[in-house]
Amino acid sequence: MSRQIAFLIIGAAFFIGSSTLLATDRLVPSQYSTIQAAIDDCNDGDVVIVAPGTYTGSGNKNIGFGGKAITVRSTDPDDPCVVAATIIDCENSGRGFYFRNGETSFSVLAGFSITNGNGGLYFDGGAIRCRYNSNPTIRSCILRGNSADQGHGGGVYIGEGSSPTISNCIFTGNYARHRGGAIMVYGCSATVSHCTITGNSVLYDNGAIDCYNGSISIDNCILWGDSPNEIGENTSSVYISYSDVQGAWSGVGNINVDPCFVNPSVGNYHLGLSSPCINAGDPDYVSTPKRN
């Protein structure tokens, strides 16, 4: 091997290693005034960490990752109190996040409460929209009180080749005029696991989840108290397992019983001690490490 080629290889290895070592935490609001400003300054591998508080206005709604493999999270996505206190309030003008640049599973959104999102007239996805082959990881979020007044997917709309993974989220009080008060999957796919979906509604079709010309895999979830019903399919593939679905749904481990939330009227969706959902999930489930 010539000295020049060896130098180029060593240089490339150093560059790759350095890019990993230089991954940076970007803090909102202490370093950046808005979440979008922090994202715009990110390189792949960086982490945007958002302190508890209520975030409103330009730069804190209609937030885009720009195709970057980054994590945007609260200070502790695994602490329900932190998630409840880290609020993106869209003020009924715009949605929380818009994935549209081919994001992969390494684009991670974790640990926010997103409320008062509105997709706007004839637009879909009140809190989050995924399109153009975007496949983000969305976990440990609360989507509450968002709407697609004239569209689909009051909480999340998934379309145009996208395939996100949504886990450990709560969807409640979301509304869509048409399909999917909580989640709408249109012509693509999604994976939903360990989520609580309750109290969502639509004027037409399915109050919790709707899947049209696509596919969705749901496991270890609760779908209860959505109006007018829980889930529907239209020439789609819907796979549900180890879930509590009001009205029943065929599939391995599924049940149809009141989950006995502690106090849903004040947003406490923990399971009461007598809940039939306790120990009713997939017995072979093994928790996977969470990114960042």
Q: What pLDDT was estimated at residue 178? A: 87
Q: Tell me the pairing of strands 237-241 and 86-89.
A: unpaired
> At 223, which amino acid appears?
L
> Which two three-digit tokens encode residue 62?
């209609």
Q: Which helix (H) or strand (E) holds 34?
A: none
Task: Please give the average per-residue pLDDT across 48-53, as a whole number.
Answer: 98
> Which two three-digit tokens encode residue 83?
């998630």
Judging by beta carbons within 10 Å of its beta carbon (0-12, 13-18, 19+), is residue 24 exposed, middle or buried?
middle
Residue with tokens 């989640």: 183
Share of the chain above pLDDT 90, in %: 81
Q: What pLDDT was estimated at residue 17? A: 41
Q: What pLDDT was estimated at residue 236? A: 83
The dihedrals phi and psi of 16, each to the nearest 5 degrees, come to: -65, -45
Domain 24-271 is found in CATH 2.160.20.10: yes
Asked whether the predicted pLDDT for residue 97 surpasses 80, the reply is yes
Asked whether the predicted pLDDT for residue 159 surpasses 80, the reply is yes
Q: What pLDDT was estimated at residue 205? A: 82
Distance CA 48, CA 33 (A): 12
Q: CB–CB of 227/204 below 8 Å?
A: no
Q: What pLDDT was estimated at residue 204? A: 84
Asked whether the predicted pLDDT for residue 122 surpasses 70, the reply is no
- Under the banding of pLDDT at 50, 70 and 90, the label for residue 164 is very high
Asked whether the predicted pLDDT for residue 37 surpasses 70, the reply is yes
Q: Tell me the pairing of strands 128-130 and 156-159.
A: parallel
Q: What pLDDT was estimated at residue 147? A: 96
Q: Where are the domains of the chain?
A: 24-271
Nearest Cα neighbor of 223 from 182, 280, 281 is 182
Asked whether the predicted pLDDT for residue 9 surpasses 90, the reply is no
Q: What pLDDT was estimated at residue 289? A: 62
Q: CB–CB of 71/48 below 8 Å?
A: yes
Q: What pLDDT was estimated at residue 5? A: 39
First to last CA, the chain: 40
Q: What pLDDT was estimated at residue 15? A: 37
Distance CA 288, CA 117 (A): 30
Least confident of 81-85, 138-142, 190-194, 231-235: 231-235
- Under the banding of pLDDT at 50, 70 and 90, the label for residue 72 is very high
Asked whether the predicted pLDDT for residue 181 surpasses 80, the reply is yes
Mean pLDDT of the chain: 91
Q: What pLDDT was estimated at residue 288? A: 63
Q: What pLDDT was estimated at residue 233? A: 81
Asked whether the predicted pLDDT for residue 13 surpasses 50, the reply is no
Based on its alpha-carbon atoms, the radius of gyration of the chain, rounded to whole angstroms, reads 20
How many CB atoms are closer than 10 A to CB 172? 22
Task: Please give the average per-residue pLDDT across 111-117, as a whole number.
Answer: 98
Distance CA 217, CA 60 (A): 31
The dihedrals phi and psi of 289, each to the nearest 5 degrees, come to: -60, 140
The residue length of the chain stands at 292
pLDDT tens track for 193-237:
999 999 999 998 889 999 999 999 999 999 999 999 999 887 789
Q: What pLDDT was estimated at residue 79? A: 97
The dihedrals phi and psi of 64, each to the nearest 5 degrees, come to: -120, 145
